[in-house]
Amino acid sequence: MNEYLENLHWRYATKKFNPELEVSDEHLETLLEAIRLSASSYGLQPYEVIVIKDAEMREKLKPAAFDQPQITDSSCLLVFAYRTDIDQNYLDEFIENNSQTRNQPKEDFQGLKDMIQNSVLTFSEHEKEVWASRQVYIAIGNLLSAAADLKVDTCPMEGFNPEEFDNILDLKSKNLKSVALTTIGYRSDEDQLQNAKKVRKSKESLFTRI
Ligand SMILES: Cc1cc2nc3c(=O)[nH]c(=O)nc-3n(C[C@H](O)[C@H](O)[C@H](O)COP(=O)(O)O)c2cc1C
């Protein structure tokens, strides 16, 4: 089996982290860079990630995540929150960033701007929420694979109350709404799940080959 697939077999949604083990700053920065480099619709990256190492804050958040132990036993908690202000101003800043990064005049990006204006900016609030949330999950997928490559454990999590998280982290004032979490750290020897066989559909039932 190639190394990439071996890593994917090694990874599992860790339920019990070893609270003594901390992910190094170097590894954490690599994982954050993997998130930053993730693909997104038009490249708009309509989300932010709150990186929480602070033990006190994680204790505060834990009850709002059904007391799941990963919140406090992991080394770091990432809260993925989508932007609720995907508007003309957001688009203008995006085009400015394209222009500066690629050292090209803004006019070069007029076609891209028009496409976004005629699609994403016409979405209803609900459609924007669904669209923005989808982008988050691409980043989480990337994060899980990158972490497996570094032999860092993760648990993606939707088991939490987003409204309570938003209140505790004061996300509304920043035009953000939490949508998913990922905890990062190292598995405890006691987590029996690490030995469990992966349960997946067969290739025959998952893929239609034409
Ligand atoms: C979007 C999403 C939300 C999840 N939420 C939780 C969660 O709140 N708590 C938890 O322990 N696991 C959670 N999981 C982990 C899944 O249960 C796990 O990925 C799945 O059972 C497959 O097992 P594996 O990842 O260990 O291979 C979540 C996974 C995903 C992708």
112-120 average pLDDT score: 98
Would you say residue 35 has pLDDT above 90? yes
Question: Are β-strands 176-185 and 76-83 bridged in parallel, bridged antiparallel, or unpaired?
Answer: antiparallel
What is the rounded distance in angstroms from the CA atom of residue 16 to the CA atom of residue 1?
27
First to last CA, the chain: 26
Mean pLDDT of the region 1-21: 96
208: pLDDT strictly greater than 90: yes
pLDDT digits (tens, 9 = 90+) for 151-172: 999 999 999 999 999 999 999 9
Question: What is the arithmetic mean of pLDDT over 108-120?
Answer: 98
Residues counted in the chain: 210
> For 57, phi and psi rounded to 5 degrees?
-65, -40
Determine the Cα–Cα distance for residues 59 and 55; give it in Å rounded to an integer: 6
Domain ranges, ordered by start, for the chain: 3-192
**What is the pLDDT at residue 123?**
98
Mean pLDDT, range 36-65, rounded to an integer = 98
Which of 79, 155, 195, 201 has most ligand 1 atoms within 8 Å of its beta carbon, as the pocket-test mutant?
Answer: 155
User: Band of the pLDDT at 201, cuts 50, 70, 90?
Assistant: very high
Which of 167, 43, 175, 45 lies closest to 115 in space, CA to CA? 43
Question: Which residue's alpha carbon is nearest to atom 7 within ligand 1?
Answer: 157
Among the listed residues 81, 80, 91, 82, the one whose alpha carbon sits nearest the alpha carbon of residue 122: 91
Amino acid letter for position 45: Q
Query: Is residue 115 scored above 90 in pLDDT?
Result: yes
CA–CA distance, 128 with 144 (Å, rounded to integer): 25
| Contact in structure between 84 and 28 (CB atoms under 8 Å) | no
CATH number attached to the domain at 3-192: 3.40.109.10
Quickly state the pLDDT bin for 51 (edges 50, 70, 90): very high
- Residue with CA at minimum distance from ligand 1 atom 26: 12
Q: What was the pLDDT predicted at 80?
A: 99
Q: Is 13 in the pocket of ligand 1 (CB under 6 A)?
A: yes
**At residue 198, what are phi and psi to the nearest 5 degrees?**
-65, 130
What is residue 189's predicted lDDT score, i.e. its pLDDT? 97
Q: Indicate the pTM of the whole model.
A: 0.97
Give the closest residue (by CA) to ligand 1 atom 31.
Answer: 156
pLDDT at 1: 85
Task: Give the pLDDT of residue 66.
Answer: 98
| Dihedral angle of Cα 111, 117, 120, 123, to the nearest 10 degrees | -150
Count Cα neighbours of 96 within 13 Å in the Cβ-side half-sphere: 6
Q: Is 134 in the pocket of ligand 1 (CB under 6 A)?
A: no
Residue 84 tokens read as 């609720």
Average pLDDT value for the chain: 98
